[in-house]
Amino acid sequence: MNEPTQTRAQQLIGDFAPKLVDLTDNVLFGDVWERSELSPRDRSLITVASLVTSGSTDQLRGHLARARTNGLTETELKEAIIHLAFYAGWPKAMSAITIAKEIFNTK
């Protein structure tokens, strides 16, 4: 019998913090991300912007990939990061664009 595929949260912290995995999988991605009031594309753009402005580069990696899956282009994501340089700060934008370069160069 095949084992079910684990979510990223389960892979990272499943045994260590199962409640946080449950909230991540069922509330954040199972409820909030599935609400129809915003498209997945819009949610991704908002999430990427929030991660850039907060300097949350670990989570940015996965969300840049998700954003592309949700319909944002590489050009749009790069432009969002460039735009945010003036609001979030140059160091945060430079860190984010470096991660974007890594993600987009592994097509």
**Could you report the per-residue pLDDT of 46-86, keeping only the tens digit for each?**
999 999 999 999 999 999 999 999 999 999 999 999 999 99
Asked if 63 and 16 sit in the same domain, the reply is: no
**With contact defined as beta carbons under 8 Å apart, do 51 and 65 qualify?**
no
Asked if 24 and 46 sit in the same domain, the reply is: no
Query: What would the pLDDT profile of 15-52 be if each residue is shown by its tens digit?
Result: 999 999 999 999 999 999 999 999 999 999 999 999 99
Let me know the angle formed at the C-alpha of 15 by 5 and 61, rounded to the nearest 5 degrees. 60
- Residues spanned by the domain of 69: 39-107
Asked if 26 and 49 sit in the same domain, the reply is: no
Q: Is residue 4 part of a domain?
A: no
Distance between CA atoms of residues 72 and 95, nearest Å: 20
Asked if 70 and 84 sit in the same domain, the reply is: yes
Q: Is residue 14 part of a domain?
A: yes
Asked if 86 and 51 sit in the same domain, the reply is: yes
Domain count, the chain: 2
